[in-house]
Every structure is written in structure tokens, then in C-alpha cells.
Amino acid sequence: MTARIEFRLNATDGKARTGVIATPRGDIRTPAFMPVGTAATVKAMLPESVAATGADILLGNTYHLMLRPTAERIDALGGLHKFMNWQKPILTDSGGFQVMSLSGLRKMNEEGVTFKSHIDGSRHTLTPERSMEIQRLLGSDIVMCFDECTPFPAEEKVALESMRMSMRWAQRSRDAFGDRPGHALFGIQQGSIFRDQRAESAEKLSDIGFDGYAVGGLAVGEGQEMMFDVLDYAPDMLPQDKPRYLMGVGKPDDIVGAVARGIDMMDCVLPSRSGRTGQVFTRHGVVNIKNARHQDDPRPLDEACTCPACRSYSRAYLHHVFRAQEMISGMLLTWHNLHYYQELMQGMRDAITAGTFEAFQAAFHAQRAEGDIEPM
């Protein structure tokens, strides 16, 4: 694998972009949605089923994998792709976000962060250098810089200090990553909701130079309106010729709105997590399959959907197996949700290519407004 990872922009429509990230493990069509495979599995799915939904790339969580089964073990077993039976590209996060949200007893300083495992209480340290090492051991195709996801809300001064430390960590990540043909390193813009900080962060990252750039520090409780406010300007500050990745987003309308603002990649646990809790995404909005209204309904979740759940099962069946707490419920509903998300991405890619993205957005919102759907 000596080829470089390359981003080709094929079309734009307004700020929305469509293209391809070419990697030795296959092309990633953008805008791309990455299902989350936290612990070396997209929950309730076989990897061939994930691929069948149209996913070109998965996200793996460094924090979870370093604790169990450990990066060294995965490396000894041939890397994450082989371990989890997924041969297409994998992006790994840096571990920083999950350390803050999941682990206990953290101590952070300029060097990095020390924490206790949420699994067994064991003590671990993550630094930019260690995060790069772990992501290399995993065999990740797209590696993320180790950063601090600035909490929200943050005072301007606190956000500034946090962003500047993340920029120093970005340089250390870049230095530790080195030159690895066939593998990409993405920088992460911080700066909370402060435009001048976002600009400073973007400038610093482009000076260092990365293969792609993430908009970080969003989807952390600020709400869609404020997130869109930041996305109205933050992606424009990043290099035009590299992919832009919005981390941890989101609901279908978040995704459409982010693409409209120039985002190329996203990831979120929402479609898989919702699949396990009976919340289903459709063109007409959200269906809560546990509601008794579905118990005699012979219709599929969505007549127009071609996923296995919609092709072969009634709402009545899906209601029944959800209520009976059968595993097939999570399996089918996760499959449907991931299929829905990938169809949404394909629809956006087609519309951007055709120059009809504005009409696509209008139809997307109109269809949801007319639905007979429960509020989410």
C-alpha cells in the first residue's frame, strides 16, 4: 500500500460538495456517512451487511479498542480490518473525546491525559504520540489528531486556551504520525462558537498541513441552530481541496444541513443506537416501533425502502419482536436505519452532481413535514 490517499472533488452545488476520497482500500464517496463500529463491530450487524447498506468506511473508537482487546493484541492478530472482517477503509478517532465522556478520574496537562478505564478501572495515559501509535497499531486508514474536544458551553478564554493546546497537540500528532503512504492524518479545528478562534485554529492546521480537516467541538449539546451558525463559516476556513469531516453528527436533518454547509464526512451512533431502541428513520420522519399503533399493521416501515426489514417484514412483526426483546429487532432496525442513512447520502451525492441540491433539501423537509410520524 504505497498509494497516497487523494481527494477528488467532482461537483459542487452552492457550498455542497461531492467527490471521492481514493484510498488503497477503496473509494469513499462523499458526502459520506460513517457507521460507528466502536468495539470492532457495528452493533447488531455483520460487516457484509454494513457494506450492503452502501457504507464505504467505518469509524472505530481508539479509546474502546485500546482498553479491550488492546491495540497491541489487534496488531498481533493482523490489524483491525482483519480482526473485524472489514476490508474497506476505517477511520479511527483519537480517543480524546471518549476519555472525557466515559472514563473516570482524569488528569489532563500539556503532556496528555491520564485516566481510569470504565471497564476495569485500570490506569492509562493518552498523549498525541501514544494516540498515533495506537491508531498505527490498529491499522487505521484515516487517523485523527489527538485533541481536546472543548466542552460546551465554554468561556471565551477557556475555549481559546483549549484550542491552542489542541493546536500544539496537532503539531505533535503530525510529527509522531510521520510519513505513512496509504494512510491519512486529519487535523481537527476547535474554537467552540467563537469565529476568530475557529479562524486561528484553521490557519494553524493548514500551516501544519493535513490530509483532511475535521470541524471539532460541535454536536456536544449546543443544539442544531448554534451548530449551523458555526457551520455557516467554519468549513469555509478550511482548505478547499481536502475533505472536511464533522464529527459525531447526527440526525438526518443535521446531516443535510451540514452537507449544505460544505461538510464531506460525518459519523454518528444514532442510526445504530436508535435501531436497538426501536426508533426508526424513514423518509417521512421517525417511527417508534414500540407504539401499540403498529401491532396490527401489515405495512412495511417504508414502502419505498429496499432494506431487508422493509422488504420482508411488517410493522406488526417488527413491533412484536421489539416487544418480545428479540435480537432480530435490533438487527433489522439497525440495518434499516443504516440503509436509510446511506440512501440519504446517495440522494445528496446525486443531487449535488445534478445541481439540484436546493430542490433535494426542499423535498427532504416537505416529505418529513407531511409524515404520519411520531415526534422523536
Only one of the segments 2-10, 158-166, 329-337, 342-350 lies at the binding site for a copy of itself (rule: CB under 8 A); that segment is 329-337
Residue among 60 and 243 whose Cβ is closer to a copy of itself: 60
What are residue 245's DSSP bridge partners? 214, 265
Shortest Å distance, C-beta 374 to a copy of itself: 20
Among 73, 107, 168, 180, binds a copy of itself (CB under 8 A): 73
**Running DSSP on this structure, what letter comes out for residue 220?**
S
**Running DSSP on this structure, what letter comes out for residue 106?**
E
Nearest to 335 by CA among 30, 11, 45: 45
Only one of the segments 41-49, 138-146, 151-159, 236-244 lies at the binding site for a copy of itself (rule: CB under 8 A); that segment is 41-49
Shortest Å distance, C-beta 73 to a copy of itself: 6
296 binds a copy of itself (CB under 8 A): yes
Shortest Å distance, C-beta 140 to a copy of itself: 17
Only one of the segments 191-199, 236-244, 248-256, 325-333 lies at the binding site for a copy of itself (rule: CB under 8 A); that segment is 325-333
Size of the site for a copy of itself (CB under 8 A): 36
Interactions with a copy of itself, residue window 299-318 (CB under 8 A): 308, 312-314, 316-317
Nearest to 94 by CA among 130, 124, 58: 130
Residues belonging to the chain? 376
CA 41 to each of CA 38, 45, 328, 338, 361: distance values in angstroms, whole numbers, following the listed order: 6, 7, 16, 14, 32
Specify the DSSP element, H or E, that contains 146: none
Which parts of this chain interact with a copy of itself (CB under 8 A)? 39-41, 43-46, 68-69, 73, 76-78, 83-85, 295-296, 298, 308, 312-314, 316-317, 319-321, 323-324, 326-328, 330-332
